[in-house]
Every structure is written in structure tokens, then in C-alpha cells.
Amino acid sequence: MTKVPSMGFDGWCDEILTQTRLLAAHLPGTDLRTPVPSCPGWTVGQLVRHVGAGHRWAEETVRTKAASPLPDTELRELSGHVDGDPATLGPWLAEGAARLTEALRTTGPQTEVWTPIPGRTDAAFYARRFAHETLVHRADAALALGVPFTADQEVAADALDEWMELDTLPVMLEIKPERRELLGPGRTLHLHAVDTAPDLAAEWLVDLTGEVVTWRRAHEKAAVAVCGPLIELLLTVYGRRPLGDGTVQVIGDRELLESWLAKVSFG
């Protein structure tokens, strides 16, 4: 039987700290005004400020057991953070991650708290979301600075699982009605990581043939297949790698894949 990764609450909390540490390690000697191509309009300094502000916003949400959304201006209004000192920004970033993980562990995974997902009221949501939010923004920084980006395969696979879960929520069709254009007979996509250990299931099937989008871990024939290293699949799905750069192989209906990627990107 293949293994489906399940990091769990403690693993997600650990990963918030790990990814933050790795992101902070990119900062010494960096020009914080360096543009981030995968986040158009942002500099590296603004990207890091966004991550740190997100950690602090989530920490307050969890710590106070908020019943409604807290203001998030600080993580969206970044115009005043075009430069700064990497020597102070790194510790500030680490402090926010530490505060968030402490709040999560003190509160516990099942504690009721508001989340942006209909029907979700558990603090564990924030542990998983910010583990992978930090992971992907670390990729943004690495790509902008021209340094290597790697990640533990179980972490990357779990990040793709979470992406699938969030992107296929029925509410997404209400938020972005244009996604309904993707639905239709025979419309299926298969993602296949080619470099994982034999006991780590790393294949996903996205089914667009019904009235809503569904997904499953499966090795199945599809209208289009995308094959490549797990990290490259993650970056492709998150819109961090263009299809034409040769890091993944596309077999089948490329037009369907391009349309899907254009309409479902987030993060």
C-alpha cells in the first residue's frame, strides 16, 4: 500500500518554524528591493513583511479564539516596506513564527476559531495553512534571489494535498464563477511526481467532469498528464513556474492544462 503523507498538527507547527528559518537564511546581504517575479509588484522585503504579518495575524486569531475575521491590512498593504535592514528583518520574521506556533500549541488543534473556510472552525487549519504559505513564499524568495529551492517530499506532497482540498471547495465556484468554464465531459488532469520514494503516493487526479471539481490520489488515465519532480509540480500548480521552461512534461490536452492553471492559481 502506498503512503499518503499526513504531517499532522505537530508536524505543521514544526514546519512553520523550519520554513521561516530557511526563508530568513536568504536575507543576510540581500538587497530587499529585489523584485519578486512570482509575486508581481512585490520586492523581497515586501514579501517577507507579508509573511511575518500573516504569522502575526494568524497568531492573534488563534490566541483570541476569534469568532470573526480580524483586520488584515498589515499583510496586504505593503507599499511602505520597499527597503529595510535584513539584519533586523530576519529576527522579526522568526519572532512572528515563534509566536504563532506557541499560540497554536497552547490553544490546541480542535479549539473553535473563525477560519475563512465555510464549515471549518478548528485551529489546526492555521497550522497547515501557514506551514505551506511560508513554504511557497520561501520559494518566491529563492526564485527571486536565484538560490536553490528544495523541500522535504512529504511536506511538498502535503502542500499539494492542501492546495487540492482548498481549490476544489464548492464555494470557489461562487467566488470565481469563471471557473465553471473548466467543467465539461472528459476534462480530467493527472499530476505525477516521478522522483518520490516508492512508498510515497505522489499522484493526483483532478476531475472536472461533474457539477463541481473533485480530486483524488490516483494513478489514472486523464485528458492531460503533467509529469516531473515533485517540487516542480508544486511550483507549477502554484503558478511559480511557467509551463514552457521544461521542468515538467505535458502529455495530452495542453490547452486544458493551461486554462486550468490560469483559473485556479492562488497563494
User: pLDDT tens for residues 122-159?
Assistant: 999 999 999 999 999 999 999 999 999 999 999 999 99
Same domain, 241 and 174: yes
- Give the sign of the dihedral formed by CA 92, CA 98, CA 99, CA 100: positive
**Residue 1 in domain:** no
The backbone region for 246, taken as left when phi is positive above 0, alpha when psi lies in -120 to 50, beta otherwise, is left
**Residue 190 in domain:** yes
Same domain, 164 and 258: yes
Say if pTM beats, i.e. exceeds, 0.85: yes
| Amino acid residing at 99 | R
pLDDT over 90, % of the chain: 85
Mean pLDDT throughout 54-64? 98
CB-CB neighbours of 77 under 10 Å = 12
Q: Whole domain around residue 218: which residue ranges?
A: 156-264
Same domain, 47 and 115: yes
pLDDT of 5 higher than 60: no
Domain containing residue 132: CATH number: 1.20.120.450
Same domain, 77 and 98: yes
Domain count, the chain: 2
Nearest Cα residue to 23 out of 133, 122, 104: 133
**Residue 3 in domain:** no
Same domain, 31 and 129: yes
Work out the burial of residue 205: count CB atoms within 10 Å of its CB; fewer than 13 is exposed, 13-18 middle, 19 or more buried: buried
Same domain, 166 and 235: yes
